[in-house]
Structure 1
Amino acid sequence: MQVKKRMKKILSIVLTMALLTGVGLTGCSQPEEKDAGGKKSEVTIGIAWPSLGTQAWSAMADYLRWYVEDWNEQKDMQIKLIETTAGDDAAAQETQIRDLLNQDVDVVISGAIDTTAIWSSITETHDAGKKFMSFCRRLTPGGPEADSTVGPDTYDTAYVSVDAAIKKMAEDGIAAEDIQVIRVQGDLKDQNAMRYGEGCEAAVKDNGAKIVADIESNWSVETVMNKLAPTLQANEKANLIFTPNEDLMLGVQSVLEGQGQWLKSGEEGHIYLAAAGGCEIGLEMIQSGYLDATGYEDLKAVSENAVENAVKLALDEEPGDYFVKSEAITQENIESLLSENYFWVYDYVEKTEK
């Protein structure tokens, strides 16, 4: 597969928001099905996706569906899915969760757009006698809690990436006190975005470097493009940029190319770059020599564990939380990992392009 073909496909995914609404295997409330022993023979899971406009979210949705298909082929107890997506609109997500409850789902899985506003939906879910799982988003503390939370450990993802990039800078002879970081934040209403930022900050502090500027992007590539140039102008000695996902690195690339600063590692004037995710954009940037590190998140494992925990919740078990740890991917270790077929993303691309 050619790099240009892959990048073209990814850019299309990043810039196009999925308009899926109310797609499911059932459309109305059904009596609870039980086997001869009185146990549930079917569970219904309602999923309120925030959006499916990035490779990461699209992949997690597909891996979850594929896991359910395999489950239904192999096990007696069947799983039905009802899915919605809110286009990153928190008010729409609240309405969609209410609609899922009206369809008598056993469990609501939601990637919260606003990790505080979602409190009302959790309360409504519990009032309906149903269970709530927070997917890939830790909730803001102080409100009603999810019955289970499943996702990557975003603090760890940011930490290992930034730590690896700073250590590379040290190896290249840059003193810790001379490392100046621009930290791009996601959406500060998103607790996971906050934890990416906290992980970055901790790695910077532990290595004796400093953050000189913050950019709140609201997960928008265009916002990064608009804000980064003046931030660089105001911080001329900044030499490391962190983004909490690799899609946002496209905005960084655009700005640096425009300023003649999009340079490979080892080239004079190279600005070091660290990201998070381990999606195709990031892996391509590492292989081509521009991105110094990313934090790899096993999103296939996240989706599969979400299904497992949701079934347990539907059966009134208490599965607890599941957070997957991350690994730093760098220009030094990526080739050996590629030879081991380590990355979910290439498996995903192969499956979806057949």
Structure 2
Amino acid sequence: MLQQRPFVPLGAEVPVWQDETQTNASRRDVTVALNTEKPWVRVALNAIVDAVMTVDLQGTITYMNRVAEVLTGWSEIEAIGHPLARVLPLVDGKSQPTSMTSGQRAIEENRAVGLSLDCALLRQDGSRLEIEDSATPIHDRDGRITGAVIVFRDASMSQVMLERMAYLAQHDALTGLPNRALMTERLSRAIGLARRNRLMVALLYLDLDAFKPINDKLGHAVGDSLLQAVASRLRDCMRDIDTVCRQGGDEFVILLAQIRKPEDATRVAEKLLVVLSMPYCIQGQVLHITLSIGISLYPDDADDADTLMHNADIAMYHTKRNGRNGHHCFAAEMNPQSIQRRRTEPGVHRPHHPSQRSFDF
């Protein structure tokens, strides 16, 4: 008959028995103890995205959450009672075993510690996984060290998150198009390249005519779907070296890089007027829209990104005032004061953030 094993709380020392039957029984006892003592602790630790393990003073595994099981390839039942170095074997950038685990260091140095950046985990199946790891000593109520908790994660997931955050910082959430920040960066680069190669750059400022009534009458869901459909058509019309940006609300900006003459820009504008005027079928509704387009050119109209954008904006409003559904190139005689008056008219608001719902028309 197996000797009854004492209750083992989370983080406490777990004796290692040589007999395999006894060892397996002890692992089951530890698991039962964890569930019996504080079941909410296990639920909470299994719900987080990081891997969590605990060890006693001898570096023996006393607990693993589900993420730790997935990353190491060990089940908790298999791992409990084994040394940390066996369940979480670490190698450096040259595939050499590390001299000490973070759990051992946390216990010996009595402080939180972390892995060096070039460490990787050798999983149970022999595969290698880059991880980020930290360990903190566990103290009892009297302040004595009783073990350590090790927290680690798949480092590649961290890189994915960083890349995702960088993407979101430069792209419109609704359409996936570059936002104003990325457009400004690309426009400045295109101007520099055109200056060196004696080429031209065109900026087309687009506003959807009569978008506000559609958005107001049919709802924001239909309006958002329409904006996404417009973005898709704009992308399909452009070359790989060009950029389509959602400026905000129902306004888009197109950067035509490396053109040779103004007619290249007007030809694109005329194509867009035709393509975007074709019917849209959105959530069972057949919708029709037109465009007002303003065009400014480097170096004819401006030699910097901000002025080029401003002039294209003025040219677009000139198109609005002259019947819409067309395009105009910027000219010095276009009156900026009339543009300002239009923007300050009662009931007219020109948003520049994708989340705003009042649209000019």
Q: Give the greater-gyration-radius structure (CA).
A: 2
Q: Identify the structure with the greater strand proportion.
A: 2
What TM-score do you get using the length of structure 1 for normalisation?
A: 0.20
What TM-score do you get using the length of structure 2 for normalisation?
A: 0.19
